[in-house]
Structure 1
């Protein structure tokens, strides 16, 4: 009797997935994918013609259920811990076998696509989904090959997304029923138990974050746009800081809204579309995003006004993480191909609910590396009446959860790029509070923020007089057209100056405490860029 092979050759299973042809829809256009979702009653159209679906139990990523296979390829290169959780090759292979068996005979959707607009650095991805709307998401967020490119397309990475497949944590080595596992040796991503489409997008982003630094390319969680003269601006920022809103400038071409690489002489978009948050979406404040929600677009987890098919963008019933997915071509003046030259200006966006940081300030290279490693923003603690204190959020490189390598890998590479390109300006922009912390002060006007960013881009701030902030030492301009001088220095906007100094020390202390995790591996140059406590009130 022949003993059954418990773990059949994973290369054969991978090839079997790529060879799927029975009951499989391959490379369908967006309109057909929408039709199929409607035919299967998996979604409805809103009054603007966009497909509206719900992603079920999961309306966002599940970072604690994202794993990386620990093997010879990754053992010494991945920063293992709470972000990069290891699993064994055996766990991966057993799940791949179960998932392959689970999808046999099921209706499937397969798509060949690229991640990366630059042919030199892009990777060829084949995505296999069990719903047409998930494949529609991939149609938008990845880059479609031309017919000529499809004729000899060679798959490098495979994503298998099967939301209906649930793991058994007691047997399969997962934390719970849902999981996302990256295997760099097999070049595969397995996603099960969750229909949230962002897991696919961010899975490939993590892959590129691992591969590109080895080619001297800095992967970046940022948006990018380009002016008429070809000047490029990058916008980094965590959720709620205005990254997508501020990069969608009708006067500039959009290169991309979320993920880019910085190669030797250019930056390039990783994606073919946008995945914009649309909670409280407003046609006046975000006209480009609003206009992009039209036939072919995908809306996730939104609700309609009662008795209509008009989306109520303020409705948080399902989640605050409502999303719209659409191709870059839906944005007026989007650049094709989505590649630009070396950036001229880089903006680190933070929503400072402490009311301490200036609305804009200029950073030295060392300060840029420090604030890149810090990745600071602040969130309002909650809606309870008795909770009024802001909560700090630090996410290294403005995307720590997507970084397979140690954050200093990326910060050092940023420093190298800045040293090689001394004309690049790096700015810290506070889109949060002024005149007091949250609950006392007021939110900095979006109009003022736009004016400050435009002044930085057009060179107006180059001629401004700067003074150094007392604690953070960042350089603060003293004037800018279209912006009252009074708001440029945050201390001046506080009625109680001592309270401002105390708040400054609180925030500086949080920065210092957060940076302790990077002290050992950070250079002396970066360490010296730390904010200093104000001694008079220590």
Structure 2
């Protein structure tokens, strides 16, 4: 059954315990699961994809098992009781994408789907159908069948599962159309020129840094890069909002206050106002809203230009990496395929403190092909252009997590502004003696940002931690370069 946003909102308030704010935003709770359940996603090993998916990193499901689950689902009362429908397009009609019919058990999930994807008119045939029915199973699962054009999600109310399952599909099919799918954000300068691409996992600053009052935002999470330009897969943003402040992130803060923004697991104060600093429910509080709510967003959600800068973000919790480094295409290939960062508390279930992780292509849970295929696409694009590529570390300085402190947003933005205006590209670089990275010789910043070892109390401890991290990187690289 198809309902208007107004009708969906009323149902969410009356039947799903959504709390309305005077602004028109809705506050909801997702229950036990407040982040993705990465081990719950399976792709059916059907003939159409069995030879193109990298099953070393993707969990496969036997077609016979799939047929049993699918039959049980469509015969269940959960399916028969009626679901809220929306017709959307994921991708960009000027570049590439898929049409999706979404069926949601919860009204607020349906609102979230309309926030995140471009609504389209109903049509006779869709590329995929997505069923999001949390009550069908007790434990989370996300099942994708390319052959049937079908996604079934259950056992969790975390809305991020919905968008990430759709992007998993796009990340698989678009390379066949010579489009490089990217887990990234993209912005332009105020003249709609000089695109900057930010690769990074949740918690690295991808959304925060790209939402800049002096820049124009194309999107904050999933994009495509082709010879014709850059484009957003989404119609909205799904921002992490823990510790969100109006002073530091005014664009995102303002978007969260607008009508039909859906705030997941954000705590309300006694006076009914939002407390973005309360993590009692989760560190992974989220907000979905149309990208048009970001006042300086680009209405077309695309550009015909090629990037001027590509930035590979990492959040190094071990205070080993410099705050910034300039990368050659070969170095970018290595850094991208390794995908080093530190998972931040709450982004996935069971992560309670920063943990070193290697997620190839900065999005392994959503990438289905061999990481080398995606990394080769990046390297080719960098080699065939005059793009500047950078590593930008938003993690810890003056010691590891628990000892040092996180690099301030002010310092990171200062470095970023020098990337935007070309200052860093003009500077000479020096080779960092411990990591081998080429560091811009910027005398205006704190030296510990360029030489992190100087911020440690014990240089031997730094050398040990640095050596362990680099050994881990080499090990990951040797396994992924085939």
Establish whether TM, by shorter chain, passes 0.5.
yes
Q: Secondary structure at the match of 1:343?
A: coil
Query: For structure 1, which runs of at least 5 residues remain unmatched after alignment?
Result: 1-23, 167-175, 383-388, 522-538
| Equivalent position of 2:183 in the other structure | 221
| Contact 2:2 2:84 (C-alpha < 8 Å) held by counterparts | yes
| Equivalent position of 2:2 in the other structure | 25
Give the alignment partner of residue 313 of structure 1, picking from 273, 276, 292: 276
Give the Å deviation of 1:401. 0.8
| Equivalent position of 2:117 in the other structure | 142
| Equivalent position of 2:92 in the other structure | 117
Over 3 Å counting, the alpha-carbon distance change for 1:38 and 1:184 in structure 2 is: same
Distance 1:442 1:194 in 2: 34
Q: Deviations over 1:173-208 (max 9, x none)?
A: xxx733111101111111122222111100011001
| Equivalent position of 1:156 in the other structure | 127
The reply on whether 1:343 has 2:318 as its aligned counterpart is no
Distance 2:162 2:465 in 1: 40
Q: Deviations over 1:470-525 (max 9, x none)?
A: 243221011165x3456323234445444433332222122122223214x0xxxx
| Equivalent position of 1:373 in the other structure | 337
| Contact 1:355 1:435 (C-alpha < 8 Å) held by counterparts | yes
| Equivalent position of 1:268 in the other structure | 231
| Contact 1:232 1:343 (C-alpha < 8 Å) held by counterparts | yes
Distance 1:317 1:164 in 2: 25
Pairs within 5 Å for 1:406-425: 406-421=370-385, 423-425=386-388
| Equivalent position of 2:365 in the other structure | 401
Q: Secondary structure at the match of 1:135?
A: helix
Q: Deviations over 1:253-309 (max 9, x none)?
A: 11001000111131110000000111121111111111011221101122222x332
Distance 1:379 1:38 in 2: 34
Over 3 Å counting, the alpha-carbon distance change for 1:309 and 1:153 in structure 2 is: farther
TM-score normalised by length of structure 2: 0.93
Query: For structure 2, which runs of at least 5 residues remain unmatched after alignment?
Result: 347-352
Give the alignment partner of residue 258 of structure 1, picking from 215, 221, 238: 221
| Equivalent position of 1:212 in the other structure | 174
Q: Secondary structure at the match of 1:61?
A: coil
Q: Over alpha carbons, which structure has the higher Rg?
A: 1
| Equivalent position of 1:188 in the other structure | 150
Distance 1:76 1:85 in 2: 14
Give the alignment partner of residue 318 of structure 2, picking from 354, 361, 372: 354
Q: How many residues align?
A: 473
| Contact 1:380 1:438 (C-alpha < 8 Å) held by counterparts | no
Distance 1:486 1:283 in 2: 29
Q: Secondary structure at the match of 2:279?
A: coil
Greater Cα shift, 68-77 or 371-380:
371-380
| Equivalent position of 1:42 in the other structure | 17
Give the Å deviation of 1:107. 3.2
| Contact 2:397 2:448 (C-alpha < 8 Å) held by counterparts | no
| Equivalent position of 2:141 in the other structure | 179
Pairs within 5 Å for 1:437-448: 437-448=400-411
The reply on whether 1:53 has 2:28 as its aligned counterpart is yes
Coordinate RMSD, CA, aligned: 2.2
Q: Secondary structure at the match of 1:164?
A: helix
Q: Secondary structure at the match of 1:116?
A: strand
Give the Å deviation of 1:403. 1.2
Distance 1:324 1:64 in 2: 24
Distance 1:301 1:486 in 2: 37
The reply on whether 1:392 has 2:369 as its aligned counterpart is no
Distance 2:178 2:426 in 1: 34
Q: Deviations over 1:67-118 (max 9, x none)?
A: 111021121111113x411112222222222222224542321111100124
Distance 2:361 2:80 in 1: 43
Over 3 Å counting, the alpha-carbon distance change for 1:107 and 1:381 in structure 2 is: closer
TM-score normalised by length of structure 1: 0.83
| Contact 1:128 1:160 (C-alpha < 8 Å) held by counterparts | yes
| Contact 1:117 1:337 (C-alpha < 8 Å) held by counterparts | no
Greater Cα shift, 84-93 or 198-207:
84-93
Q: Secondary structure at the match of 1:107?
A: coil
Distance 1:413 1:380 in 2: 28
Greater Cα shift, 103-112 or 292-301:
103-112
| Contact 2:267 2:275 (C-alpha < 8 Å) held by counterparts | yes
Over 3 Å counting, the alpha-carbon distance change for 1:375 and 1:326 in structure 2 is: same
| Equivalent position of 1:468 in the other structure | 431
